[in-house]
Amino acid sequence: MKFIIYFFLTLQVVFAQYTTPNLGVSWTPDSLVANSTGTVTGSFPNYTINALVTVSASDKITVLPGSIINFTSPTAGFETNGVFSAVGTEQNIITFTSSTPDSTGAYMGFRFNDTSIDSLCKIKFTKIEYAYYGLRCVDASPSLENNYLYKCRRGVNLSSSSPLISGNKIERSYEYGITMTLGSSPVIEHNELVNNNTQNTSPKNQISIGTQGINSPTIKYNRIYGGWNNRTGGISISALLGGSGSTSEIAFNEIFNNSFGITLGGGTISCYVHHNRIYNNKINPDPMTTGSGINVNGNSANTPVIAHNEIYGNWWGITIQNGTTIQAGPQPNIGNLNNASTDDDGFNMIYNNVQGTNIYDLYNNCSNDIYAQNNDWRVYDSISVDGHIMHKTDDPLRGSVFFMPFSQFIPIELQSFNVSSDGDNILISWSTVSEKNNSHFSIEKRTKYDSEWGLVGNVYGSGTTQEVHNYSFSDTPENPGILIYRLVQHDYNGESRIVAEKEINFISPQFFELFQNYPNPFNPVTSISYRLGKDCLVKLTVFDALGNQVTEPVNENQSSGVYTINFNGASLASGIYFYKLATDEFTSIKKLILLK
């Protein structure tokens, strides 16, 4: 009996939560190993955490690049009241994982509370997998940048929080990709949300906003797509409770292969929805419940502006409703040339939203009238346009849709768009099957981790034509990396449209690089990374200060790309060492310092 009691008490100590001392300490995981009485164990780069670690308001925890942290219990994770920073590099990420690959939440994950210092709390260049929360914020706004959140129960969960969420890939969350309520207005830009809601028992969406408070995120330049889970929608905003609402900007996103594209539900919604490509959102086979490119549902306080979007290939283009019966409902502005504003002048392209032989590019299921002027329906006479719209001419109980005037310009029809590497250059090529009023194309570029697009060059268009035209442009990037190119078409009226976008991992055949090891000084493990510009025989050698070879961790043929190896100096004495990368046409030497 004494042994059993002793064993039980021992387990309590080993799996006890740990709170930092709140004395202004600035610690790493090695510090936690030394002070947490067993909650954190291991040494760089491999650590194990078996319970919750709470960062006190005066304290700071910094996780170094290359660290691999394994959480071993459902309650394990980091809760931050002070400062938590986990900033890796593109070549040397930080990994947070569990030996149990459970997307319902093998460990708690990461929570930031109201006393955390937003400007100093950062999670960047990490992989977070199998957590209950990839990021949980309660009245806190840290930054989450360039991470991969994989198979978490909830990717990002926000309450009264407005963090920066940029450059991340959030994939296969059990429930939501990103969800928020109680007055959260984060910036969500340049992310990729893929196949979230693997639970698939209810419509939990890639990005879910609402239902309490004024939640007005900025959602721009994201790719939001599915294909696996037929109950997963793209972006949903719900303002269903009293005092709730949204003034979000939803722009320049690509939303496809979901059960719907965007839904705006409730009242007091004045979102600006513009320059999005919303297509093929019909993975749910039931068009009576899903499948809209954009759905606007609720009362007359729901007044979004919808402009400059391309909406095609869905079960429905834009649907307007207040429940399931015909009654007064939302008042979206899909194009109004009668007021002074130019933000709501239409310029949407809405076409090919089909069920069987029926075209439903715009469906007004309400008794109030809707303005949808100056849009392109891919047909160019009033009788044909009217056939794409369900409104008063189909049922006298419905309100009218005022669609005249409508666009007289057929946009370019793109047949192909390709981006490929050709030695030191990137070749951008595309072809059109028809053009009208096409002045020119511009090619723009950014890196994967940069939010700003830069002009690369211009190519003249072919005016008006019904013939196939092929175009190409060559760019010579200054640096290797993941690059994104997009094609923008400009007409003679000064209007422009983003027509295509593609990503490429560019590695110049002439570009080799040996990176500085990290950390440096180190004890006893450090990471060494290098970049190969082409396939070759690679030798990586470590020498002591006298030039004697200590070890040769790499001696083999390798393909072009970026490589990282961990060098363990446990058997060596403290001192200065050198590491050398050698190929048939490149040699570089750098210094590393071992301090024990």
The DSSP string of 150-186 is ES-SEEEEEES---EEES-EEE--SS-SEEEESS---
**CA–CA dist 451, 541 (Å, integer):** 38
Query: What would be the CATH architecture of the domain defined by 513-594?
Result: Sandwich (2.60)
- Amino acid, single-letter form, for residue 128: I
- Amino acid, single-letter form, for residue 256: F
Which has the closest alpha carbon to 484: 443, 441, 424? Answer: 443
Give the model's pLDDT for residue 192.
96
Give the model's pLDDT for residue 14.
45
The string of pLDDT tens digits covering residues 368-377 is 999 999 999 9
Residues in contact with 394: Cβ distance below 8 Å, sequence separation at least 6, in sequence order: none
Q: Is the pLDDT of residue 3 over 50?
A: no
Give the model's pLDDT for residue 8.
40
Q: Is the pLDDT of residue 12 over 80?
A: no
The average pLDDT across 207-219 equals 93
**CA–CA dist 316, 351 (Å, integer):** 10
pLDDT tier at 1 (50, 70, 90 boundaries)? very low
DSSP tag of 545 = T
The average pLDDT across 232-242 equals 92
Is the Cβ–Cβ distance between 92 and 66 less than 8 Å? yes
Give the model's pLDDT for residue 478.
80
Which has the closest alpha carbon to 463: 489, 444, 443, 485? Answer: 489
Give the model's pLDDT for residue 558.
92
pLDDT tier at 415 (50, 70, 90 boundaries)? confident
Give percent of the chain above pLDDT 90: 79
Q: Is the pLDDT of residue 5 over 50?
A: no
Highest mean pLDDT among 262-271, 516-525, 559-568: 262-271
Give the model's pLDDT for residue 243.
84
Q: Is the pLDDT of residue 7 over 90?
A: no
The average pLDDT across 216-236 equals 94
The average pLDDT across 405-427 equals 83
CA distances to 1, 40, 358 from 596, rounded to whole Å, are 44, 21, 75
The average pLDDT across 552-568 equals 91
Give the model's pLDDT for residue 9.
41
Out of 107-116, 125-134, 299-308, 498-507, which region has the weakest mean confidence (pLDDT)? 498-507
**CA–CA dist 382, 394 (Å, integer):** 15
Q: Is the pLDDT of residue 584 over 90?
A: no
Is the Cβ–Cβ distance between 484 and 254 less than 8 Å? no
Q: Is the pLDDT of residue 380 over 90?
A: no
Q: Is the pLDDT of residue 13 over 70?
A: no
Give the model's pLDDT for residue 210.
85
- For residue 510, count other CB atoms closer than 10 A to its CB: 12
pLDDT tier at 509 (50, 70, 90 boundaries)? low
Q: Is the pLDDT of residue 174 over 90?
A: yes
pLDDT tier at 422 (50, 70, 90 boundaries)? confident
Sign, CA dihedral 570-571-576-580, equals negative
Give percent of the chain above pLDDT 70: 96
Query: What would be the CATH architecture of the domain defined by 413-506?
Result: Sandwich (2.60)
The average pLDDT across 443-456 equals 88
The average pLDDT across 108-126 equals 98
**CA–CA dist 157, 133 (Å, integer):** 7
- Amino acid, single-letter form, for residue 152: C
Give the model's pLDDT for residue 408.
67
The average pLDDT across 25-54 equals 97
CA distances to 37, 40, 42, 47, 163 from 34, rounded to whole Å, are 7, 8, 10, 12, 32
Give the model's pLDDT for residue 206.
98
385: phi then psi, degrees, rounded to nearest 5: -60, -45
Selected residue with higher pLDDT from 329 and 3: 329
Q: What is the pTM of this model?
A: 0.77
pLDDT tier at 500 (50, 70, 90 boundaries)? confident
The average pLDDT across 384-395 equals 96
Structure tokens at 277: 């490509």
Mean pLDDT of the chain: 92
The residue ranges of every structural domain in the chain are 413-506, 513-594
Q: Which helix (H) or strand (E) holds 40?
A: strand 40-43
Which has the closest alpha carbon to 530: 557, 511, 552, 502? Answer: 511
Q: Is the pLDDT of residue 44 over 80?
A: yes
Bridge pairing between strands 305-307 and 272-274: parallel
Buried-state track 305-337, b at ≥16 Cβ within 10 A, e below 16: bbbbbbbbbbbbbbbbbbeeebeebbbbbbbbe
CA atoms within 13 A on the CB side of 292: 20
Residue 427 three-state SS: strand
Cis-peptide into 432, omega within 30 deg: no
Cα dihedral 288→294→298→303 (10° resolution):
-160
The average pLDDT across 416-425 equals 86
**CA–CA dist 504, 445 (Å, integer):** 11
7: phi then psi, degrees, rounded to nearest 5: -65, -40
Is the Cβ–Cβ distance between 356 and 287 less than 8 Å? no
Q: Give the burial class of 390: count Cβ atoms within 10 A of its Cβ; 0-12 exposed, 13-18 middle, 19 or more buried.
A: buried
The DSSP string of 114-135 is TTS-GGG-EEESEEEESEEEEE
The DSSP string of 238-292 is EE-STT-BB--EEES-EEESSS-SEEEEESSB--EEES-EEE----SS-TTTS-E
Q: Is the pLDDT of residue 2 over 90?
A: no
DSSP tag of 515 = P
Q: Give the burial class of 455: count Cβ atoms within 10 A of its Cβ; 0-12 exposed, 13-18 middle, 19 or more buried.
A: exposed
Bridge pairing between strands 52-55 and 316-321: unpaired
Which has the closest alpha carbon to 206: 233, 239, 166? Answer: 233
Give the model's pLDDT for residue 15.
55
Which has the closest alpha carbon to 178: 139, 217, 123, 128? Answer: 217
Q: Is the pLDDT of residue 410 over 50?
A: yes
